Amino acid sequence: MFGYIKPVAAELKVKEYELYRAVYCGLCAALGRNTTCVSRLSLSYDFVFLAVVRMALAGERGKIEKRRCIAHPAKKRAVLADAAQLDYCARLSSVLTYHKVCDDISDDRGIKRLGARLVLPIAAIMRKRAEMDSDAEGFIRDKLAELSRLEAERCDSFDRAAEPFGELMAYVCAYGFETDSPQYRIANVIGRHIGRFIYIIDAADDLEADIKTGAYNPFRMMYKEPEAEFEQHIPNIKTALTMELMGVERAVELIDFSAVPEYGELIRNIIYLGLPELCERILNKNSAEKAEDGE
C-alpha cells in the first residue's frame, strides 16, 4: 500500500533534489541503525514524505554527511544525519511492516501467505528492535484490525474502507507533538488525508489485478461490472481524491517553513505536482490500455 508519495524530480532544483535524496538515504541508514539491515528493504517514499513533514513541523534541519553504503560502495553519497524524526519514521516503518506481514498471513492464501510466513521471523526482530511505545503500537494494531474487518465484510464503500487507514496515519504523523500545539493539529490533518488518499489510490491501482485474483477491493464490491463501471465513475473518484489533497494543502500552508524553507519546497512539489500527476496516471491507465488495444 506504500510507495506512492513522491516528488516530480524534474521540477525540483538541483539542491532540492539532492536534499530529497539525502533524506531518503538518511532514512535508509536510520532503518539499519534502529532495527536491522534487512529492514532497509522496507524503505518507502511515503515514509520519506512523513519524515520531511515532521522535520518541517519540528524545525529540525539535520546535518548532511558524505558516506558510503552497501548499495553504493564506490562513491560517497549525501546522507541526512542527526535527525530524530528519521529515527522515529524508521521505527514506525518496521512496526507497520511487521503488522502488514501478520495481516497477510491472516488474509492471504497460497504463495503470498507462505512468503509472509517466511518473512515473519525477520519482521518480528525488526519490530522488537524498533521499541515502539506500546500505546502507539496498540493503536496501529487496532486500526489495522478494523481495516481487516471491513475488508473481510466486503465493504462496498471506498470512503468507509479508507477511514481506518486515515485515522492510523493521522495518529502516527502527529505522534510525539504536544496535543494542544499547532504542530499536532497540522500533522493530524495531513496524516488523515494522506492516509485516505493512499488507500483510495492503491485500490484504484490494484483493481485490475484484484478482479483477476478475486481479492478484496472496494471498487470491485461497488460495481457489478467493475472494469466498465469504474471507468464511468472516474470523475467522481478523482473528485474524492482531490478533496483529500485539498485537505493536505490547507494544512501544509499553515506550516512555518522559515527555519527549514527547503523542506517546504519538497512538500509543495509532492502535493501540488507529484500527487495530482499520480492520480492522472493511475485513474486513466485503464482507458489508455483500452485505447491501445483498439488500435
Measure the CA–CA gap between 260 and 59, rounded to whole angstroms.
Answer: 6
Q: What is the pLDDT of residue 109?
A: 58
Residuewise pLDDT in 10s, the chain (295 residues)? 568 999 999 999 999 999 999 999 999 989 888 887 767 777 889 999 999 999 999 999 889 998 887 777 778 889 999 899 999 998 888 888 888 788 777 665 556 667 777 778 877 888 888 888 888 889 998 999 999 999 999 999 999 999 999 999 999 999 999 999 999 999 999 999 999 999 999 999 998 888 888 888 999 999 888 878 888 889 989 999 999 999 999 999 999 999 889 999 999 999 999 999 999 999 987 555 544 444 4
Backbone angles phi, psi at 12, to 5 degrees: -90, 145
> Quick one: DSSP state of residue 260?
-
Distance separating alpha carbons of residues 237 and 212, to the nearest angstrom: 21
Per CATH, is 9-294 categorized as 1.10.600.10? Answer: yes
pLDDT at 286: 54
- For 217, the 3-state DSSP assignment is coil
Cα 168 → chain centroid: 11
Domain boundaries of the chain, sorted by first residue? 9-294
* Global pTM value: 0.89
**Closest to 264 measured CA to CA, from 90, 57, 63, 4:** 57
